[in-house]
Amino acid sequence: MFTTNEGTVDRVLRVAVGLALLVWFYVDQGQGFWHYAKLIGVVPILTGLVGWCPLYTVLGISTCQMKKA
């Protein structure tokens, strides 16, 4: 299906940032666009869990370690 293009550190940071945004969304009971913009935290969580980033694919980036033969 998709080849992994995110390294371990990248994946951990994505999940951490995504969780921080979602926690901030639920703790801060604000209103308006910027309050709901925090829901974008779902995207880094999903890409971090899957290990594949579509933007990395388009840009030709990979943070994975090279596999030794």
At 46-64, the pLDDT tens digits run: 999 999 999 999 999 999 9
Model confidence at 24, in pLDDT bands (50, 70, 90)?
very high
At 36-50, the pLDDT tens digits run: 999 999 999 999 999
Please report the pLDDT score of residue 2 as a whole number. 80
pTM: 0.86
CB atoms within 10 A of CB 6: 21
Please report the pLDDT score of residue 3 as a whole number. 87
DSSP string, 18-47: HHHHHHHHHH----SHHHHHGGGGHHHHHH
Cα separation, 59 vs 57, in Å, equals 6
| For the chain, domain boundaries | 8-59
